[in-house]
Amino acid sequence: MKQKSITIGGVSIAPGERKTVSLEVGRLYTHSKLNMPVQVVHGKRAGPILFVSAAIHGDELNGVEIIRRLLKIKTIERIRGTLIVVPIVNLFGLINQSRYLPDRRDLNRSFPGSPEGSLAGRMAHLFLTEIIDRCTHGIDLHTGAINRTNLPQIRANLKDPETLAMAQAFGSPIIMDSALRKGSLRAAAVKRKIPVLLYEAGEALRFDEASIRAGVNGILHVMRHLQMLPEGRRVAARPKPIIAKNSHWVRAPQGGIFRSLVKDGARVQKDKTLLGVVSDPFGEDEFHVFAPCSGIVIGQMVMPLVNEGEALFHIAHFIRTDLAEERVEHFSDQLQDMQNQAYQGKDIPQI
């Protein structure tokens, strides 16, 4: 089917064209304009329109690098349909190395927004009307919060068959059936019947090579699933990701100095696995933190200084924890292989 031109921010992009568009989101104190950079790869043939967004929380940087690497891959020049990438949604937050906007609002709790609302509301409205409303599918890239890590995982509304198929195609070892949060980008997209995946991996203000490579690969897998890209070279069949039935946060029983004894991806057993220790500076008043449930560690605190009640570990529960452990081990082995290879500009190792 013949492709038509697409218009974003008043700029027309013709079939077969690749163009960068700047969406004005406001001005700094200096009166300098602040623009949201958008790049559009508009294929010659009609097909799905996929957006990939990052840094809706300004301190979550892995996604910025994922998009940079994605755009270096030659095969996306031959896509069917359209790829719209927004590497920095929350420009104010990124400039200030902050999750939030200057007024302390969370942009990912401000959708659908309003052109006459708060700064967050105006930015949300701009992104919704200029990007999301033009798309058929989406992938939103995230990391853990400051001082917290996340094992690469997909969060999505798995009750929708199309979203579930995208999540399985992405190839993360673990998929979380995640409820929609009021005001989130994902909730606004789903209301418009646009399936969206949320990719969580790594931690804020840090690049994590494994998470970045897995993210690039995952996006390519989804694009192949949507038939935007041709199938790549033949590789061994990947194990199917496993779906977590729920998850549980383990919190600090007291304030003190925290030492973790397990890694992300570790399998833990209820009341048997020692997760970590919280102690005073002398090591005299020690509290051993045991796993309150069985499952896989999918995230944890990396800051040694903790207050009582702070989240230390995030544990996902599965019907078959042994299968989940296998998936994580396979995924980790593949990532290790990838990290031992130099990044290739034309393609990246399969996972």
Domain with CATH 2.40.50.100 in the chain: 246-317
- If pLDDT is split at 50, 70 and 90, which confidence band does 295 have? very high
Residue 116 dihedral angles phi and psi, to the nearest 5°: -110, 10
Say which CATH superfamily domain 6-225 falls into. Zn peptidases (3.40.630.10)
Distance CA 142, CA 185 (A): 12
Distance CA 191, CA 160 (A): 12
Domain with CATH 3.40.630.10 in the chain: 6-225
How much is the pLDDT for 239?
Answer: 79
For residue 139, which of 169, 182, 159 has the smallest C-alpha distance? 169
- If pLDDT is split at 50, 70 and 90, which confidence band does 151 have? very high
Radius of gyration of the chain (CA): 21
Architecture of the CATH domain 246-317: Beta Barrel (2.40)
Distance CA 268, CA 291 (A): 7
Residue 325 dihedral angles phi and psi, to the nearest 5°: -60, -40
Distance CA 329, CA 267 (A): 10
Distance CA 151, CA 148 (A): 10
Residue range 14-58, pLDDT digits in tens: 999 999 999 999 999 999 999 999 999 999 999 999 999 999 999
C-beta separation of 103 from 119 below 8 A = yes
For residue 56, which of 172, 188, 209, 192 has the smallest C-alpha distance? 188
How much is the pLDDT for 186?
Answer: 98
* Contacts of range 336-341, beta carbons closer than 8 Å, 24 or more positions apart: 338/210, 338/213, 339/209, 339/210, 339/213
How much is the pLDDT for 340?
Answer: 58
